[in-house]
Structure 1
Amino acid sequence: MNFDALTDRRRLAERIRDSIRTVPDFPRPGIAFLDLCPVFSQPDLLAALAGAMSDAFSGAFDRVLAVEARGFVVGTAVARHAGRPLVLARKSGKLPGPVESVRYDLEYGSAELQIQRDALRPGERVIVVDDVLATGGTMAAAGELVRRSGAAVAGCAVVVTIPGLGGERRLGAEKVFSVLPTGN
């Protein structure tokens, strides 16, 4: 990465950091919710974010898989910027037709993520996009859906990584790109 690109990435990270609102005790006591809506409300900032994510995997992906719900905003922008098709990973019961499902554990229970069976083709390279990487459970489940389709995970892209929750460790060998890698 050249100096200008590094400087641009730092400026982008600063703008995003300055735009994120932290909401204490939401959705329950003890949780500090990162509200990215102010980032999404700025078209130029969202475009720059999409460009940085797309460029981090330039030439290495055929499709973008966006994770419900806030990942849809970022994933759509990345797919548009890269000129690549978009696939949606949704919560159980939200997609019509035959679906592939993965059940995964959360810190307070379990959830299920699905994609339509014909959404990915064997051999395709896919980047998985979401807003925040915390424990990595949702991102790991999305990666499993990609692999079950016969496609390959080219990497994972997020806006923010929350430190100390083990998300990157849980993803193992997957390349992870985070605009705010430390979450602060």
Structure 2
Amino acid sequence: MSVAPSSDDRVARITKAIRVIPDFPKPGILFQDITTLLLDPLAFKDTIDLFVERYKDKDISVVAHGLIFGFAYAGVEARGFIFGPPIALAIGAKFVPMRKPNKLPGPVISEEYSLEYGTDKIEMHVGAVQEGERALVIDDLIATGGTLCAAISLLERVGVKVVECACVIELPELKGRDRLGDKPLFVLVS
């Protein structure tokens, strides 16, 4: 288990910048809204910097974005895409989006995964990654862990080594970390 040090002032700034919205998108959910983090240039920069500092010397060639949780990354695709590209650029890696079905043109490979209310699927372009590459899977939030597991499985199926998963926020009560098995997970806010 790896969490950014709470003694780092940047983590406190990031935590403060995340708005929690009760009962969204349905009753009983405490939605972790990162749009307020994006409105705070210093907290957003801190977020990117903390990830870059962690991964700049880990020989990562691919930063992949996995979809996350059921509220669809209206978020899954959109929110994780906010963090992945600047991190990839800063560490000299390529960015590979993983998207919901029928969002990527051309040939794709896919991975189905279970949700608490059914199944879903993520897709990646054929040839986007090569066997032997080293990947970081990044997302804004880990909840149940299903989509991160699907992203790991998809990458490993084509011979990519997943070095670590990274998320801005973890909802530990949903035990997503447990589903990752031996894959390391780094989070900034738990």
If the length of structure 1 is used for normalisation, what is the TM-score? Answer: 0.89
Asked whether the equivalents of residues 137 and 164 of structure 2 are also in contact (C-alpha less than 8 Å), the reply is: yes
Cα separation, 1, equivalents of 2:78 and 2:113: 17
Equivalent residues, number:
176
In structure 1, the partner of 2:47 is 49
The percentage of counterpart residues that share the same residue type is: 38
3-state SS in 1 of match to 2:130: coil
Alignment of 1:1-184 (within 5 A): 6=5, 10-60=8-58, 61-67=60-66, 68-180=77-189, 182=190
Partner SS for 2:57: coil
Q: For each residue in 1:49-69, what CA deviation from the matched residue of structure 2 results, as whole angstroms up to 9, or x when unmatched?
A: 122112223322111002323
* Contact 2:61 2:92 survives alignment (8 Å): no
Is the CA contact (8 Å cut-off) linking 1:13 and 1:179 kept in structure 2?
yes
Q: 2: CA distance between counterparts of 1:50 and 1:139?
A: 19
TM score, norm. by length of structure 2: 0.87
- Report the residue type matching 2:127 in the other structure: D
Q: Which amino acid aligns with 1:65?
A: A
Gaps of 5+ in 1: none
Distance 1:147 1:25 in 2: 36
Relative contact order (alpha carbons < 8 A, sep ≥ 6): 1 or 2 greater?
2
Conserved? CA contact 1:51–1:81, under 8 Å: no
Distance 1:175 1:57 in 2: 13
After superposition, the C-alpha distances for 1:101-134 in whole angstroms (9 at most, x for unaligned) are: 0111111221110100111010000000000011
Which segments of 5 or more consecutive residues in structure 2 lack a partner in the other structure?
A: 67-76
Please give the per-residue CA displacement for 1:31-62, whole angstroms capped at 9, x wherever unaligned: 11110001122333222212211222332211
